[in-house]
Structure 1
Amino acid sequence: MENRSTKEFEDNKSQSKQAEAEIILDEPKGALKKVCIKKTEHKGRGIYALETIQRGTSIWQELPFSAVVDDQNISKACSSCFVNDKRMFRCSKCSLVHYCSKQCQVDDWQNHQEECKATVKVQRNPPTFIRLASRILRKRRVDVTLFKQIENLESNYSKFQQSQMETFAQLAMVVKECVGKDELIPAADMLTLFCQLTSNGFSVLDAEMQSTGVGIYPNVSLLNHSCWPNCVVIFEGLKLNVRPIRKIEIGEEITISYTDLFFTGEERRKELYERYFFTCRCELCEKYKSVSEVDPRSALRCSNTSCDNPVDQPSSSDKDEEYAVCCKCGKISTFDVAVLDDNLKKARSLFKKGSELSTSEPENALTYLHQAFLIQQSLLYYANHELVMTHRALFDCSSKLHKWDEALQHAECLERAYHVVYPEYHPDTAVQIYRVAKILLYMNQLEKAVTELRYALKISEVTCGYRHKLTKVIETSLKNSEAEIAIGQSTRS
């Protein structure tokens, strides 16, 4: 399938060669390719390639300094291996953490033993952030030298707002209840630790790229952000893998994304500044500053119904009407600014109501979400982030209610949008194509399902690797589907 956004971007992409003023610091631990840490004047520390690296290879692997299953998955995922597709049993003493096997419970006992006692003592379940900080402090008591990995992390201490520091101070009081006296550190150091965890935490993802927990990976934390990254982070259980999704040249910086690439540029920069305290000036952000470039994430649809090109959303102004010229078909689209704003606000309100009901009343949620979709579909480009969010919500509700025709419609729309917004090879795209294939299988459309599965497998092999669970699941589904088609053909003949 054509990835138009990728091709246009790659044609205009300049290699991220660095300025003359750079200092080579060291070789990072865990790297499988020749890379080095460099410090540059404008970006600080980062990781750069010392050799050409082909897409689909593994650049880096690292186990966490510490990691915990998050609150949403505490009863669904194993606190040792983070598997979430098996029957779990809980710790009989604290009833907080869960395990998939006795062996995993034994493996995790060194981490959980003191945590278990503290949970029973305080008689309440500590939240994710507290459990992570407590485990790190216990590990520090065992090996102070190893704790240097945490101390060397960037904290951005001076950049946090006073209100955030006050929250950290309150959390520090909770941590005191969860660790022993010999594990405590001075108050100022505790605040620094919280700043470091906030700035350097990784969401640990399952096979379908859904978050199951949070971990600290000190060496991989050196990787800088780009909204158009050349690498992705993939997890095999707790082991983090950095994999290139396109060819990386010698001297090019290795980058990952810290944020959701479906957010608009304004939303991405806002999140990055509020959490990581920098203003992103990557190639993608700079690209859409040009008046000739339209960001599909915030675009409207061309008023020519036979044209699939995005047009710019009018900026707020005192004018009653604004217009945009489609660069593909030349159609002039005229917008009543007030009416457009009212319709989009109405759609957002309907989406909010539907989202709030999606768990408890999926049937009613579907009604609100469909109303939002009808408004957005007539106004927004198909890769617009608001329309994408509505498609996702409609897909989830339709799937819960086994309305497979509707689920397929929204899954296919999402797949189309993913090809525009994400780089050509991206794990989220593989997951989405696989979701389309699964619905086609439910509907017994085997040949279409096989086409989707082959495409999903192609992407997954590059972004996740041949041994990754997602790749194996797609591969098995493809083999079974091809075998079923072959049996059907032989029966008919």
Structure 2
Amino acid sequence: MSFASLKSQRQSKASRSYVTSKDNAQEPHSTTIPKVIHSNDPETPTPSNECTVYHGTPENVEMRVSATSGRGLWAKKLIKAGSIIISLRPHSFALGSQYLDSHCSTCAAVPNSGLLRCTGCRTVWYCNATCQTNDWLLHRLECSALRNWAKSAPSKNLSVPSDAVRCLGRILWQKRQEGFDSSWSKEIDALQSHRHYLQPRVVENNTHLAHSLVRYLGLSSPRELSKFGILSAGDLTDLISRFVTNTFALTSPSLTPVGVSVSPLVALFNHSCDPGAVIVFPRSSRKPTEEPQMQVIALRDISPNEEILTSYVDTTLPRSLRQAALKETYDFTCQCEVCHHDNKIDSRESIWCPKSCEGMCPAPSDESEIYQCVKCRAVVTATESIMDSLRVGQEALEKATSIQDTGQSSMLNTKHIHVILVYVLTDLNKALQLTTNIIPILVSAGLTPSCHPLLALIGLHKSLLLFSFSADMSQDLLDEAIRTSAKHYMGLSALLRDGHPVRAVALAELGKLLAVDEPRPATSPLANVSFPPSGPPRLKAAYKTLVHARHELMIGFGRDNDGGELGRNIRETLVSLEKELGVWTQGIHNTVQDALNSSRK
């Protein structure tokens, strides 16, 4: 699994759309060093949507307005780490096309007993008749749109519109059903639009998305959108911009992106590259009929009157890539401490000391000529060589990711198993060979495990090894996957705080790998000296790792959720390991007792 694609932030997987170019209008830019202005302050800026009442706002949180970051959410009292700040069902969501036949389109679950397919569109599936009935009010409109889209599709691979198009369609149908003056519709309309300063590439993408939406709704021109409350090109532009800017990834309990979702209340949280809270879909199991539940979880203790901040981008990326992503999608420059702590080495851009003193140096770039170890002040001399390695690593990461995506696409777009094996294994083996060759080059250049692009390549290498292991369950592949998983967790631990869901999931994966039955357990006593160990010592390592993983999951996925579905799964694995270790310990005890009895005879 690759966690670099994690977007429990407002980033859509949208196609493209109808958007006007920039004009002279201005909107407040978001930053993350807020000057708090309370709502009763006479100098408080008055947002056009200040009267919007957000459904699901908890009592310990309130919306305030900052002079620098606009609207945001603040804690009214102490919020402890692992607490659920907000829990609600998204206003709207849509599964990714590749997950439509494996997940319920009402609750996003993956049921054990199989799914029921809609006999009309033959595209969406449901857990049972109850889920199908609950979704019918919207799906009766969606069903017809899906059938018409499939009839006019140029190829089988394009017979289903993107999740972005389908989610937008559901939003417009529900706005019409709820009423344009309803609180549900007003919350959607209150989402911030950045249409006045969109980047050219975003304008092009949004224009394509708008054209696809008009076609999906069965309209011959944008003018027919008036029945959905869209009376002008500006209204359509705002709708698309609000959607793209405020969309969250719908994820599985283990953080795999499976679709898109929209929640106006959760969209109020402002950004930091060192967030105090995260957005997850843990599946608490308490109210299955209300799933999927989008939850905002506190990663650390949040003080009263402190703004609650989440992250919009992958915070394992270096500052330049984070800032570029934020500028393109949200049009602001982040001012958080992580981005502007110039006197501290950023582990995302770091190398080991050339004198091996265990200190770190900033990774060379075009910004400076002298780089020194912060511990012993040794000067880095091979700057050109290291910069070349960084460039090669970035190119390899992009190429390997592209190959992996192509292979997975082949797997999802065909039902013939022999075709899957030929195309997928060929493509993924190419990507695996690429990561296998490039990672040692970056390591020899002195990059730390948390440095980009090494960390991302290690994560990708791990996911490729896991796929290969599922096809060829060899001891060597399993051991290599375990070592790579440990390196990945080590790199994440240098960047993400204890309990961050990405870090917690990575540790849970390592523990599960250690607990896998060995295809060929080592018999030599020396085999247990290296990592990973073999036999009972490996089970002990798995147990300790999973205990730590469960601790982190309880924070990142909520203590009241018992760590979510993944946390409960780890708890069951721990019980199983306890029994297995108990049997092993009892066997040793019996053997020793038999030996003692024999010696006494």
So what's the TM-score if we normalise by structure 2?
Answer: 0.74
Residue 193 of structure 2 corresponds to residue 155 of structure 1: yes
**SS where residue 92 of structure 1 aligns?**
coil
1:281 match: 335
CA distance, structure 2, for counterparts of residue 48 and residue 372 of structure 1:
45
**SS where residue 75 of structure 1 aligns?**
coil
Cα displacement (A) at 1:262: 0.5
Cα displacement (A) at 1:324: 2.5
One-letter code aligned to 1:418: L
Cα displacement (A) at 1:269: 1.1
Greater CA drift, 62-71 or 339-348: 339-348
CA distance, structure 2, for counterparts of residue 161 and residue 462 of structure 1:
37
Match among 455, 463, 466 for residue 396 of structure 1: 463
**SS where residue 510 of structure 2 aligns?**
helix
Structure 2 gaps of 5+ residues are 1-31, 41-49, 152-158, 219-223, 284-290, 408-423, 470-476, 519-534, 590-601
CA distance, structure 2, for counterparts of residue 262 and residue 283 of structure 1:
15
Contact 2:439 2:454 in 1 (8 A): yes
Instruction: Describe how 1:153-232 pairs up with structure 2 within 5 A.
Output: 153-161=191-199, 164-165=202-203, 167-179=205-217, 182-183=227-228, 185-186=230-231, 187-232=233-278
Task: Report the count of equivalent residues.
Answer: 470
Superimposed CA distance per residue, residues 209-234 of structure 1 (whole angstroms, 9 cap, x where no aligned partner): 11111111011111111111111112
Instruction: Describe how 1:85-484 pairs up with structure 2 within 5 A.
Output: 86=112, 87-122=114-149, 123=151, 124-144=159-179, 145=182, 146-161=184-199, 164-165=202-203, 167-179=205-217, 182-183=227-228, 185-186=230-231, 187-235=233-281, 236=283, 237-287=291-341, 290=342, 292-305=343-356, 307=358, 309-316=359-366, 322-337=369-384, 339-358=385-404, 359=407, 360=424, 361=426, 362-379=428-445, 380-402=447-469, 403-442=477-516, 443=518, 445-466=538-559, 467=561, 468-484=564-580
Distance 1:451 1:96, change over 3 A: same
Cα displacement (A) at 1:241: 1.1
CA distance, structure 1, for counterparts of residue 366 and residue 194 of structure 2:
35
Cα displacement (A) at 1:106: 2.5
Cα displacement (A) at 1:21: 4.2
Contact 2:36 2:65 in 1 (8 A): no
Match among 86, 93, 97 for residue 67 of structure 1: 93
Cα displacement (A) at 1:137: 0.7
CA distance, structure 1, for counterparts of residue 362 and residue 306 of structure 2:
32
**SS where residue 258 of structure 1 aligns?**
coil
CA distance, structure 2, for counterparts of residue 128 and residue 163 of structure 1:
20
Structure 1 gaps of 5+ residues are 1-15
Greater CA drift, 102-111 or 16-25: 16-25
Greater CA drift, 79-88 or 391-400: 79-88
Cα displacement (A) at 1:131: 0.6
Distance 1:134 1:354, change over 3 A: closer
Distance 1:404 1:85, change over 3 A: farther
Greater CA drift, 182-191 or 66-75: 182-191
Contact 1:231 1:245 in 2 (8 A): yes
Greater CA drift, 215-224 or 86-95: 86-95
CA distance, structure 2, for counterparts of residue 17 and residue 312 of structure 1:
25
Distance 1:428 1:163, change over 3 A: closer
1:8 match: none
Cα displacement (A) at 1:452: 0.6
Cα displacement (A) at 1:335: 1.7
Distance 1:315 1:190, change over 3 A: same
CA distance, structure 2, for counterparts of residue 259 and residue 20 of structure 1:
24
Contact 1:404 1:439 in 2 (8 A): yes
CA distance, structure 1, for counterparts of residue 498 and residue 338 of structure 2:
15
Cα displacement (A) at 1:177: 3.2
Contact 1:430 1:456 in 2 (8 A): yes
CA distance, structure 2, for counterparts of residue 306 and residue 364 of structure 1:
37
Cα displacement (A) at 1:473: 0.8
Instruction: Describe how 1:2-41 pairs up with structure 2 within 5 A.
Output: 19=35, 21-23=37-39, 29-41=55-67
Percent identical among aligned pairs is: 26
Higher strand residue share: 1
Greater CA drift, 245-254 or 181-190: 181-190
Superimposed CA distance per residue, residues 260-312 of structure 1 (whole angstroms, 9 cap, x where no aligned partner): 0111111111111110111110121122xx1x3111112122223462x3311
Alignment RMSD, CA only? 2.3
**SS where residue 203 of structure 1 aligns?**
strand
Cα displacement (A) at 1:167: 4.4
Contact 2:397 2:453 in 1 (8 A): no
**SS where residue 45 of structure 1 aligns?**
strand
CA distance, structure 2, for counterparts of residue 162 and residue 284 of structure 1:
28
CA distance, structure 2, for counterparts of residue 352 and residue 49 of structure 1:
40
One-letter code aligned to 2:571: E
Contact 2:121 2:144 in 1 (8 A): yes
Distance 1:342 1:411, change over 3 A: same
One-letter code aligned to 1:229: P
CA distance, structure 1, for counterparts of residue 199 and residue 96 of structure 2:
25
**SS where residue 154 of structure 1 aligns?**
coil
Distance 1:20 1:227, change over 3 A: closer
CA distance, structure 1, for counterparts of residue 201 and residue 503 of structure 2:
38
Cα displacement (A) at 1:397: 1.7
CA distance, structure 1, for counterparts of residue 146 and residue 279 of structure 2:
32
**SS where residue 82 of structure 1 aligns?**
coil
Higher relative contact order by CA 8 Å / sep ≥ 6: 1 or 2? Answer: 2
Greater CA drift, 194-203 or 348-357: 348-357
**SS where residue 514 of structure 2 aligns?**
helix
Residue 81 of structure 2 corresponds to residue 55 of structure 1: yes
CA distance, structure 2, for counterparts of residue 32 and residue 483 of structure 1:
42
Greater CA drift, 374-383 or 67-76: 67-76
One-letter code aligned to 1:243: I
Distance 1:29 1:141, change over 3 A: closer
Contact 2:485 2:510 in 1 (8 A): yes
Greater CA drift, 467-476 or 74-83: 74-83
CA distance, structure 1, for counterparts of residue 402 and residue 216 of structure 2:
34
CA distance, structure 2, for counterparts of residue 490 and residue 161 of structure 1:
66
Contact 1:118 1:177 in 2 (8 A): no
Contact 1:354 1:367 in 2 (8 A): no
Q: Greater CA radius of gyration, 1 or 2? A: 2
Cα displacement (A) at 1:32: 3.3
So what's the TM-score if we normalise by structure 1?
Answer: 0.89
Distance 1:364 1:202, change over 3 A: closer
Greater CA drift, 371-380 or 358-367: 358-367
Superimposed CA distance per residue, residues 451-491 of structure 1 (whole angstroms, 9 cap, x where no aligned partner): 01110111111221243101101111111111211122122
Distance 1:377 1:261, change over 3 A: same
CA distance, structure 2, for counterparts of residue 417 and residue 163 of structure 1:
33
Contact 2:357 2:375 in 1 (8 A): no
